[in-house]
Structures are given as structure tokens and as C-alpha cells.
Structure 1
Amino acid sequence: MSSTTPEEGPCMDAWIVACWACSVCHTFMWLNAVNPVNKAALLAWVRETGIGLVQVNGQRKYGGPPPGWIGSLPPPGSEVFIGKLPQDIYEDRLIPLFQSVGKLYEFRLMMTFSGLNRGFAYAKYTNRRSALAAIRALNNFELQKDCHIIVCRSTEKCELSVDGLPCSLGQEELKRVLQEVTTGLLELSLHPSPSSKHECFAVAKYNSHRAAAMAKKALVEDNAHLCGQQLAIDWLKPDMKQKLAKATATRDNGKSSRHALSSPGQQPAPSESAQQLKPPLTTVDILHAFCQRMQLGSPVFLTNIVALSPNGWLRFWYQVVIPGYPVAYSGYIWVIPDKQGFPEQHERAKDAVAQRILKSLAEPRKV
């Protein structure tokens, strides 16, 4: 099979190279003019090793499972997040590096339409021990001159929140709808909506982070058709999860309140627990609403504590990916901690970063 490379066709706006190795077809789609040298090196590495890479939905994946894999999925805690990657680096350098500390089950590099990476990736190992070894050996590793990458444990979120559901929709009916458009659904629960007295809120738990991420993408794309009304779909936030758990415990302790969707066609009266569920509006919520209104998709926040000043301030590295925005936001921000615990510090950092991003998005672009 013949193919046209950038060197052979420099006037092409875009090109597709189909590489056949070990009877597997690997397809790469990218803009010709961006980073041609490293792209050519990646293709040469693929041809030489016969490694299988599949690009789909804004990411390029190896494994999941890898060739010859026998057994069950790796346990939770086996995946690491890789941040601060130079955007012109590809799998020909990253996979051998992360394989040097343990056997990889899966490697996912987030990609842009131009063929650059988005500055972050995920490496899933076959066990937790290898993931910890990767964090110890490769966090702050100098991948190239003056470029130190971040390697930390991945949160592997598996729960989605779906807000704005009609109260006439029953749990089994919603379950059937979700199973039609997503895969890997494990659990589904319904609650009074924290944002409206006349709507309901669902928590959908999936069997893996990948399944949940694919479900989130599918639900956002089918939002206009799901249940016939506009919904707010996002990862389940830790503070909301805690409030839902408290509300469930209160009901289980004998405070009678019928399930919000137990009787189709009847709208439940707003209970005291439902009113307590309503959280204060944060800057992250405002950014999320703005991105939804502009049809940019839901922002994904990544934060990591990198320093502590003598006066108690915490320095965070952050990266925020907005699916419909051409570049990711990343940098550092200082946050003064409070006494509410470690997870709350990350939420404070995200709120400060969201304020910075909103200001940036509101500024007129220079032509």
C-alpha cells in the first residue's frame, strides 16, 4: 500500500497515513505543516515496532488491553496522570519511558486536530505497584531541556451527574435510556435537583473512567434529545457526593420522604433535604455555564500542589481543558489554605483558576 508523506506532498493542507504492521491498520490524521520532524519519527517508530495506536475522540490509545493480555482489568489506583508535556512529543518517546518502570496496560495521549498533543496523557499499568513506581521515578522528570513533567495518581472518576431531569421520568425508564446511548452503567440513583424545585438529579456510576468519559461525551452530544429537554451533564463533584450521602442517611434514619420519581406524573414537594442540597454558586459553576452556553463543552480541571510557602500559601500547578477551545489553559496559582481539609484546597484553587479563565475569555481577541 502506498501513501503520501509530508515530504512527498508539502502543499497538502492535511494528510492521512495508513501504516500496516502485523496486519493492524493504524491511522493518523493531522495538519501537514505542524511539527513534521517528530511526526515522521513517530511513524518510523510505529513501522519498526509494529505497535498498535488507535486515534479516536481526541485521544490516541495504545493497549487497553495490550497484545497477549490475559486476565481481568487492572485494579483501581493503577493509572497515573502525566502533565506538562511538550506538545510536540509523541508516543515514540513516551511509551518506552513509561514502560521502563512497569508493564503498561494502556497509554492514552490527548490530541489536538493539528496533530500536537494537548499537554497531558494517562498511563495505566497492570498493577498499583507499577503506578507508584512511575510516580516515584518520573514525577519532575526532565523530558527535555528545562521541561519537567508531572506524574501523579489519576483520579479515575467513574460517576456522572445529570441535572434538569423531568420529575415524571422513572428510574427504570432513565436506566433504559442511558443503556441505549452508553455502555458500562453499573448503578443509577435519583435525587431532588439542587438547582430546581421542579426537576430531578441523577448520579450514574460506570465500570471504568473510560466508560464514564465516553458516556459523558455521548450524553453531551445527545443532550437535546435525551428526555426531551436540556440537561446539565458533568462529573459528580465531591461536595455534591457528600451532600447526597448525608441526605440518603437522613431518609434511612426514618424521616419519611417518598422517592422523587416513585409515582410517574406526580411532582414531589420540595423537602428540607432537597433545599439543603442546593450548593452556593461557585466561579467554577459560572465557567461551566458559560462554556455550555457557548457550546464549548464542559471544562476539565487538573490541579496539583507543587509548593508550600513559609507563610502557609499553597502553590498549585493547573491545567484546564475546554473541549471546544483550541488550546488548554495551564500555569501556576497561589491559594491561601483554610481549615476545611485537603480536597477543599483543590476546590479553592479551581475556583481561582476559573476566575482567571473567565477574565481571559471575556477579553476581546487581538486580530
Structure 2
Amino acid sequence: MESPIAANYKARAGAVNLENKILLLQWMENCNIHLVQVNGQRKYGGPPAGWIGKIPPLGTEIYIGNIPQEIYEDKLIPLFQSVGKLYEFRLMMTFSGLNRGFAYARYTTVQDAELAISRLHGYEIQPGRRIGVHRSIEKCHLELDGLPFYLDKVILTTVLGAVTPDLEKVSLFASPNMDMRNLAVLKYNSHQAATMAKRVLCEGTLSLFGCAIKVEWLKNVMKKKLYCKNLQKPHFSISQMFTNGDPAPSGVHCLYLICEQLNLGQPVYKIKFLSLGSHGWLRFSYQVTIPGYSDQFTGYAWLIGDKLIPTDKYEQAKEIVALKILAKLGYIDD
């Protein structure tokens, strides 16, 4: 007797490989298997039900190629579970509901991954059709080239972390390919996270902060430069923001323009004057919040203020604080 799930699917599914799709759904129902489809792939586990502990280490993922397009997880997962416990299985899918001919399986141990490669590489999954099973090249690093010079690492981490989960580290350097542009190296906690991030950035963020950004896997030549520390410090130049020949603006105005460029919201200054020292020096505390920036800026500073009216004291204190923030962010020398 046909299950309710299979009957419902049959009523609304297209004709492409319908029989095997229904068998897949029956297997899922019988084995209580849950699959999630997102971003062109269908995933089991990651982690599986009842898993306690960390994600398995590098070396536990394998790549499976030459899969017939009409074969699904009801055939693949039991086959790869036969050699060891699966932490995750990901089958790449087309819009029509066929698989794209390859998948990734992550085991809980490196030993099981190696066993799967030795036992299942060349396995005849259909008459005359043998799958290839290899160690996955688990790339975890992306490079973004062409970033505007006025972006700092904290802002970039905040923005990218919001749209690409599992971002572990951002490193920022001067672009070796473009004048007054920067290059970022992004490290993710897994190959899957890096793959999804690359897809999101390529498909959704072709233009970042008004600049065309090139998103690629970290190339070997760049890896060597990183290892040998041959990359230059990132470009930071306030003067590049002003091209009309006017005199350089104040620190307060520079910070205002940078926040405007990055859509961060404008700085909110809280300044409290504390005590008057010798020779007219006036001590004050400050607290500055920029709405779209993750850190708050606090501290103490001095100005010569014994002969200033309150309004001038406040404006001078703001200027000193703005210059301190610009220096902390790397836009000017401290």
C-alpha cells in the first residue's frame, strides 16, 4: 500500500525520475530520516540526531563523483554508512530534482573516511557505472580583492559575519593587483561554510560598499605570500576621500564622512569634563558610540581649556576624540 507521504508527493511532483523520488520518500519515512535542502544541496545530519561533541576534524570528509543522476540518498547513505558512522551527507541537486552527479560525506573519524575511500572507490553502483571516492579538498579560505581602502577589519568582519555564518577570521592586506584597494583573506570553520559563503558573496554581493569585489578561493600564490609574510599592510588614506582640492577637513568631519560612506550611522559623543590641572590643562572622559560599529570607544584625554568658553571646550574635546578614533581604526597615524 502506498504511504500518505508518497501519495501526496506523487500528486504534486513533476515527471522527472518520479519513481525513484517516491522510493526516496518511502525510505525516509520508514527509516525516520530527515533531509534538508538549501542552496542547491540536500543534507543529512551535520550533526546527526543525538550527536554530542565538536565537528569532526579535517580529513573526515570525502568527495563522491560519477553518481548517476537518478540515484538518491536511499541508495547512497546506506552504502556509505556500511563502512562507518556518518556525521553528514550532502548531495548536490539540480532544480529539476536530479542530483548533480556528486556528493560529500563526512565521517566521525579520519579512519572511517580513509576506509570508505579504499573500499568504495570504483564501486559499481549501477551496471557499468562506477563511482569515484576521494579525499575531499577541504578549502576553508576565500580571498576578496578590490575592497575600498576605507574599510577596516572590524567593519568588514561585522558585515561579512552577518551574511556568511561560521566566519572565523578576517585578515586584511593591500591588494597586489589594484591601486588603493585592499584584499581580505577570510577563514571559515569548514569547507562547507566556505563553499556557502562563496556562493552567497558571488551571487548576492557582486558590489560591496560601492566597489566591484572579486571573490575566489584562496590561490596557492597568495598562500605562499601569506606564509612568507610578503603582503603589504592595507591601504588607509583619508586624503583619498577628498578630491576637490579643498583643505583637509577636521577629524570630526572625516569620521562623519567615513561613517556616512559605510552606512554605519553617525557617532554619538558623550564627553565629561573632570578636573583642571596645571598650566590650564583640562582632563575629560569620553564615550563614543557608532550605531553600526561593534566596539565602543572610551577613554580619557586632555586639552588646554582654562580660557575657553564651554562650547569651544566641547568642540575641541570632540576633535581630539575623533582623531583618536581615526588613529585606532588605522586611518591616520597615532
Residue type matched to 1:40 in 2? I
3-state DSSP of counterpart to 1:239: helix
Residue of 67, 71, 80 corresponding to 1:85: 67
Whether the aligned pair in 2 keeps the contact of 1:223 and 1:229 (CA below 8 Å) is: no
* Deviations, residues 282-330 of structure 1 (Å, cap 9, x unaligned): xxxxxxxxxxxxxxxxxxxxxxxxxxxxxxxxxxxxxxxxxxxxxxxxx
The percentage of aligned residue pairs carrying the same residue is 52
On the 8 A contact 1:167/1:265 being kept in 2, the answer is no
1:76 aligns with one of 47, 53, 58: 58
Establish whether residue 47 from structure 1 lines up as the match of residue 29 from structure 2: yes
| Match runs of 1:200-279 below 5 Å | 200-224=182-206, 226-246=208-228, 248=229, 250=230, 259-261=233-235, 263-265=236-238
Aligned residue number for residue 80 of structure 2: 98
Aligned pair in 2 of structure 1 residues 5, 234: CA closer, same or farther (>3 Å)? farther
- Asked whether the equivalents of residues 10 and 22 of structure 2 are also in contact (C-alpha less than 8 Å), the reply is no
Change (3 A) 1:92 1:4: closer
**1:19-58 paired onto structure 2 within 5 Å:** 32-58=14-40
Q: Structure 1 residues 183, 100: closer, same or farther in 2, change over 3 A? A: same
Q: Which residue of 2 aligns with 1:293?
A: none
Contact 2:6 2:25 in 1 (8 A): no
Give the TM-score, by structure 2 length: 0.67
Please say which structure displays the higher CA radius of gyration: 2
Of residues 63, 83, 90, the one that matches 1:108 is: 90
Cα shift at 1:218: 2.1
Structure 2 gap segments, 5+ residues each: 241-334
Task: Quickly say closer, same or farther: Cα 1:141–1:3, change in 2 above 3 A.
Answer: closer
Of 214-223 and 129-138, more deviation after overlay is shown by: 214-223
Task: Find the aligned partners of 2:226 and 2:239 in 1 and give their Cα distance.
Answer: 22
1:101 and 1:3 map into 2 onto residues whose CA distance is 30
1:187-202 correspondence runs (5 A): 187-202=169-184
Q: Displaced runs of 4+ in structure 1, greater than 2 A? A: 1-9, 243-246, 263-267
1:18 maps to which residue?
none
CA gap of 1:8–1:154, structure 2 versus 1, over 3 A, is closer
Offset from partner CA, 1:78-116 (integer Å, 9 cap, x none): 000000100000000000000000000000000001110
Contact 2:207 2:213 in 1 (8 A): no
Letter paired with 1:65: P
Whether contact under 8 Å (1:6, 1:32) holds in the other structure is no
Q: Tell me which residue corresponds to 2:283.
A: none
Consecutive unaligned residues of structure 1, counting only runs of 5 or more, are 10-14, 16-30, 252-256, 268-367
Letter in 2 for 1:171: K
Could you say which residue in structure 2 is the equivalent of 1:121? Answer: 103
- Across the aligned residues of Structure 1 and Structure 2, the Cα RMSD in angstroms comes to 2.1
Q: TM-score, normalised by structure 1?
A: 0.61
Letter in 1 for 2:65: G
Retained in 1: the 8 A contact 2:36–2:43? yes
Residues 14-52 of structure 1 deviation map (CA, whole Å, 9 limit, x = unaligned): x3xxxxxxxxxxxxxxx6111111111111111111111
Residues 257-276 of structure 1: CA deviation (Å, up to 9, x unaligned): 6x223x34366xxxxxxxxx
Distance in 2 between residues matched to 1:264 and 1:179, nearest whole Å: 25
Q: Partners of 1:158 and 1:139 in 2: how far apart?
A: 25
